[in-house]
Amino acid sequence: MTTPHPPENPVPRHFIRTPAYPWLLDEAGFMRAGHVLKLIDIVGSEAALRHLNRDGKRGLVVTASLDRTNFHQPIRLWDMIRLESRVSQVWQSSLEVEVRVQAENWFTDETRDIATAYLVFVALNEKTREKIQFPAYQPNTPEELQLAQGAELRKKNRATEGKTAPFIPIEDSDNPVVISRLMTPNDANAQSNVFGGIILSLIDEAGSQVAKKQSLNQPVVGVRQDRMSFISPTFIGETVEAKAVLTKTWNTSTEVQVEVFAQNPNQAEPRRVASSYLVYVKLGPNGRPGEMPPWTPQTPAQIQRAELADVRREIREREEQQQALSLSSVQDDAPLSASSQL
C-alpha cells in the first residue's frame, strides 16, 4: 500500500502489515529474524521500484546490500507487524531505502519499535539487465536531509569496511552447519531473480542453528544482522547453500559467520553469492539474556575470526554513537516545528 503524495512530504511511504503467525515463531515464541528480514526486503524493494518507474520507466531493481540491522525487541505471537519504507538517498544507478519495523499489540494497543534497516538497490534495464539510472531525488524537510546525510555516512562506512576488514572463507575443515535449498518460482520475481529476502532468511536459518548449538540447545534470538553485500544474483533452478560457523562468544551473545553459494546445474563450480555476520543472544528461563557457554578458538583461522569479531563489535558501537550524535545535531539545529516531526 502506498500513501498519497502530499506536497509537504514529497517522499512516498510504502507499508506492509501482517500478523505474527504461529508457524513463523521459533522455540522461544518469537518471530524468526530471517522472516522479518524477508519482509524488510519486500517492502524496501517496493519503494525502490516505485521511485525508479515513477516517470514511466520500465526497469527492475535488485538488492545490492543490507546495512547493519539491530533488532531492539522481539516480535511475539499475534503481534501485528508494521513495516514502512521510503527512499533515503539516490546515487546514479543505486538507491538507499530506509525500512522501519514496529510491532503492535492487538490487546493493549502498545506499539514497539523493532528495527530500522537500510538497503541499497541497483536499477537494471528490464530487457538487457544493464544498469540504468534512477530518477533524481531532492531531500527537502529536515528529516529527509538527515536521512540523506546518514546514507552518505553508511556508504562511506561500507567502502571503508570492505577495504580494511579481512575475510576468512569457511572451509570444510571448520565443520560448518550447512543448509541447502532449491530455488523455485515462489522464491523469485518475474525475471527469475531470487529475492534478496529469501537469501537473508536462509542466512538466519543457518546462523541460528550454530548459535543454538553453542547455547546447548537453549533458545536464542537474533539481535543483529551485520552489513552485507550481494555479490552475485541467484536464479530459479539453482541450489543455494548456506554455510555457518561460530566466530566469537561474549557474556550473553555469540557471533556467527555465514557464507552463501549458488550451484547452477550446468556449471561445475558453485559461485559465492553473499556473506554476513549475525549476532544472537541466549535466553534464560525468565526470557531475559542468559549466560552463553564460552567457546575457545583453536585453529589459526578460528583465532583470527575471533579477533576480527571484536573489531566488528567496536565498529558497530562507534556507528551507533555517530548516529546518535548526528540525530542530536539535527534536532538542535532544526526549527521547533520541524524537530517535533523527527
Regions of the chain with pLDDT less than 70: 1-10, 161-166, 322-342
pTM for the full model?
Answer: 0.86
pLDDT, tens digit, 9 for 90 and up, residues 154-175:
888 887 766 555 689 999 999 9
pLDDT at 127: 82
Question: Measured between alpha carbons, how far is 302 from 245 in angstroms, rounded to an integer?
Answer: 9
pLDDT at 162: 62
CB neighbourhood size of 33 (10 A): 28
Residue 106, CA distances (Å) to 19, 114, 117, 334 in order: 10, 16, 24, 35
pLDDT at 27: 82
pLDDT at 42: 93
Residue entry with cell 558501537: 317
Question: Measured between alpha carbons, how far is 62 from 58 in angstroms, rounded to an integer?
Answer: 14
pLDDT at 302: 95
The DSSP secondary structure of 127-192, one letter per residue, reads TT--B-PPPP----SHHHHHHHHHHHHHHHHHHHHHHHS------GGG--EEEEEE--GGGB-TTS
Residue entry with cell 519495523: 101
Beta strand spans in the chain (E):
14-19, 59-66, 69-70, 80-91, 94-104, 111-125, 177-182, 220-225, 228-229, 239-249, 253-263, 271-282
Cell of 175: 565443520
What is the identity of the amino acid at 66? L
Task: Indicate the burial class of 306 (C-beta count within 10 angstroms; 0-12, 13-18, 19 or more).
Answer: middle
Instruction: DSSP letter for 110, please.
Output: -
